[in-house]
Amino acid sequence: MGLDLEEIKSIPMQSQITYTDMKGNEFVRVISKQQGLTQDQKEAKKGVKANILSGYVQTESANLVLQGK
């Protein structure tokens, strides 16, 4: 794609959360951020929250099994 990965210092990240309040109103919360990148493995591991990541992996794995994948 013509990208030099050595020059990229950050990537845009976005999370969209949809929820309904007790009155039935639907809302969307959008959180945007520039996520810095590193090639230092020790630095990258500092920010990992393994318990959150493992919970996500378990949920996604179960969903894939239910879909027959």
d(CA 11, CA 8): 8
Would residue 13 count as lying in a domain? yes
pLDDT digits (tens, 9 = 90+) for 3-26: 787 788 899 999 999 999 999 999
Q: How many domains does the chain have?
A: 1
Query: Structural domain of residue 14, as residue ranges?
Result: 9-37
Residue 68: pLDDT over 80: yes
pLDDT digits (tens, 9 = 90+) for 22-67: 999 999 999 999 988 888 888 777 767 777 778 888 888 998 999 9
pLDDT, residue 51, reads 75
Would residue 31 count as lying in a domain? yes
Would residue 20 count as lying in a domain? yes
Dihedral, CA of residue 19, residue 30, residue 54 and residue 50, to nearest 10: -130
Would residue 15 count as lying in a domain? yes
Would residue 18 count as lying in a domain? yes
Dihedral, CA of residue 2, residue 5, residue 8 and residue 11, to nearest 10: 90
> Which tokens belong to 53?
């990541």
Distances (CA, A) of 10 to 16, 19, 21, 58, 63: 20, 29, 35, 28, 31
